[in-house]
Chain A
Amino acid sequence: MGDLPVIDYTLSFPYTRTTGPVMGPFLTALRDGQILGGRCGDRVLCPPLEYDPDTGAEVAPDLVPVGPGGTVTGSTWVSTPTEKHPFAEPFAFATIALDGADTPLIHAVKAPGPVEAGTRVMAQFRDERVGAITDVYFVPEADAVEQTIAPGDEPVEITEHLIGVRIQEDLYPFRKRYAQALLDGKILGQRSPKSGKVYVPSRGYDNMERVPMTEADDVFLPDIGTVVSFTEITPIQYHGQTETDPYIRCAILLDGADQPVTGIDIRDLRPPEFKVGLRLRCVWRPPAERDVSELDNRMGAIPEGVYERWEPTGEPDVNPDELRGQAW
């Protein structure tokens, strides 16, 4: 039998960015081993900006080399870097007034210990450069080495960024009991102590009557119900999509429930056999194979990891007119 999971998943996508007339040349120059600032009135801004931060006026791109040396104006020491940080070992984040620039650049300084304001630092370029702010980092001037950088080919006009967030949380109390029940081959709902309505899966409270529900309100529901709505989906391809063939997603009103469970996956039935009013029963996976890791605190579904399929019970269909207002 599977264990109850702690929710842990990473949501990430390879977003693209149009770099535009100012950031594009800035990133192209970084790839080619140079830092550029942008003239804006009588100042040089680094990084350069598309629009004057004081007036909102458009800044005609006028990019000039700055650095590679600069002076630290402030810093903080990162003693325990995360995997997202530019260095695995402790380092400093610093505001660096690059030579020739009037605004400080925030960047990483690779140093043996905390970096004082006033420290002279020098840009160093990484071997692998892609046209990103992480192509460069800084070191105390004495540690700098001479570098020969071969420029790249095309200007950096579109960049790609795998941006993600890792979500870790405990299932909240009702969801834990719901997940355990699924592992046991049972469906757990809750009956509102105020309205008597049965919610499945419950949120642990009745959102209509605004009352909490406790373990005393738990009710087991039969794993049999009626199709109240569905659609047949032809999958669109996107990042992480593994589906290629059409499939049905439906909502099933379990016997005794007052709202349907949604997103139920149907692979072996098709219209016209599959229809609103059809009576279905859950065919569970063997206990050792049941998996609730897809469950989170929000989804209103029964995770696919616990059932093999839903099969017709053979009972007469329910008249769809009796199911009006249950579609989800």
Chain B
Amino acid sequence: MSALPCAVIGTGQTKYKRRRELTLDGLVREAALRALDDAGLEFTDIDAVVIGKAPDALEGVMMPELSLCDALGAVGKPIHRVHTAGSVGASTAITATTLVESGMYDTVLTVGYEKQSEGNATWALSGGKSGGQGAGGTFAPWIREYIARSKAPEHIGWLVAVKDRQNALLNPYAHLHIEDISIEKVRESPMLWDPLHFLESCPSSDGAAAMVLTNEAGVKRTGKTPAWVLAHAKRTEFSMFPGRDTTRPQAGVECAEALYKKAGITNPREQIDCAELYVPFSWYEPMWLEGHLLAEEGEGWKLTDAGDTALDGSFPVNMSGGVLSSNPIGASGMIRCLEAADQVRGACGEHQVEGAKLALGHAYGGAAQYFAMWIASAELNPEL
């Protein structure tokens, strides 16, 4: 039995700055209500709720899916919680999609969130111990390996950092709005995890992102512009094993292969119009371009260098400003999927890619070991 079509018909985001005035419940609800409003629906129209967030230690709230039921109108309904570290937002969106594709539910609300201001991610990701490496210290050695292998010049990371922050200026929800962002500013910001400067790293953000997913009947009934979930894929590998290629994880390659195959895509760079890739540290743009088969090995940085990944380039990446501009961790992957959906719905305002019909949303998590990707399409049966 094949999957039934599933589409995004409503999206909602919060402003991703610190939200000290809102409870965690209020934050999650704000995104959910905006998504429902966008879909022209109410809580009573929702059959099931799927939420995702990063490790509980980030806010110290255990089993938040229970305490958030009231705020999400989920009392008396099925509620599921997904957890795959940093990739969780995308995994959550995909899990919600499968609930519609299976025919189990007609209309599903999915929400990803993090309120980083209530805890400390570096503390949590360092196991609560002094001298921890955190995420930056974990990824930096692999980035150095990528640079050594690809012979990429050092300014590539700075270019990504500037490009994504410039895109963020066009996105009112983005956390960072650095009006005077420049190569000099990035290069002269403190070196945190060599070769990563402060401005080549993601911020700590609060925020929630939500989507309403429905089947073909739901799309017809609401009359809303859909983003069809043409394909999705998830893959996982161990964090450590002999011969593991940390700069180009095999699970990431296989996830992309499975995704493109499912979507009928044979030349992803040409056939996909734009991508929201999970880039928490600047160098991950070229690394994922290569690691997800959007560029040949050793060629990803050349696309960045040539301006191909800019908003007006041949293959725009992170039009919203990306994770480098907003990182409410548990929401970050969902924002990538949501932005891909909004691109093909033509709903991205100033950071809209003109005529985008097929967009990629992507997230990775853990020690670059969990991958979740989806393709959003303006058409249910696009001609590729």
Chain A contacts to B: CB under 8 angstroms: 11-13, 15-20, 23, 49-56, 158, 161, 163, 195, 197, 199, 207-208, 229-236, 238-243, 247, 249-251, 258-259, 262-263, 265, 271, 276, 300, 320, 324-325, 327-328
Contacts and interface: CB of A to CB of B under 8 A. Distances in A.
In the complex, which of the residues A18, A242, A300 has the most CB atoms of chain B within 10 Å of its own CB atom? A18
Contacts of A327: 141-142, 144-145, 246-247
A15 B243 CA distance: 39
B173 interface: no
B25 interface: yes
A79 B119 CA distance: 34
B270 interface: no
Contacts of B64: none
Chain B contact residues, majority secondary structure: loop
In the complex, which of the residues B20, B71, B124, B131 has the most CB atoms of chain A within 10 Å of its own CB atom? B131
A44 to B, nearest CB: 17
Nearest to B18: A18
B223 interface: no
Interface in B220-264: 238, 240-247
B172 interface: no
Nearest to A234: B192
A163 B60 CA distance: 7
B148 A276 contact: yes
Contacts of B127: 11
Given A56-B72, A265-B131, A19 B60 contact: no
Sorted nearest first, the 8 A-B pairs with minimum C-beta distance are A56-B73, A229-B141, A231-B140, A20-B23, A258-B242, A327-B145, A15-B60, A11-B128
B30 to A, nearest CB: 11
A249 B23 contact: no
A244 to B, nearest CB: 10
24 contacts: A13-B60, A17-B23, A17-B118, A18-B20, A20-B23, A23-B23, A50-B26, A51-B29, A56-B73, A56-B75, A158-B20, A229-B144, A230-B141, A231-B140, A231-B141, A232-B191, A232-B193, A235-B131, A249-B141, A259-B242, A271-B194, A276-B148, A320-B148, A328-B141
A114 B190 CA distance: 61
Contact of A249 (B25, B130, B133): B133
B244 to A, nearest CB: 7
Contacts of B246: 327-328
A13 B142 CA distance: 29
B123 A20 contact: no
Given A232-B194, A242-B131, A249-B137, A52 B23 contact: no
A195 B142 CA distance: 26
Contacts of B21: 18
Given A53-B70, A243-B131, 19 more contacts: A13-B60, A17-B23, A20-B23, A51-B73, A56-B71, A56-B73, A161-B60, A197-B242, A231-B144, A231-B193, A232-B191, A232-B193, A232-B194, A238-B120, A249-B133, A249-B137, A250-B141, A327-B145, A328-B142
In the complex, which of the residues B75, B194, B242 has the most CB atoms of chain A within 10 Å of its own CB atom? B242
B123 A238 contact: yes
Given A13-B60, A15-B59, A249-B133, A20 B243 contact: no
A259 B240 contact: yes
Given A239-B123, A328-B246, A234 B131 contact: no
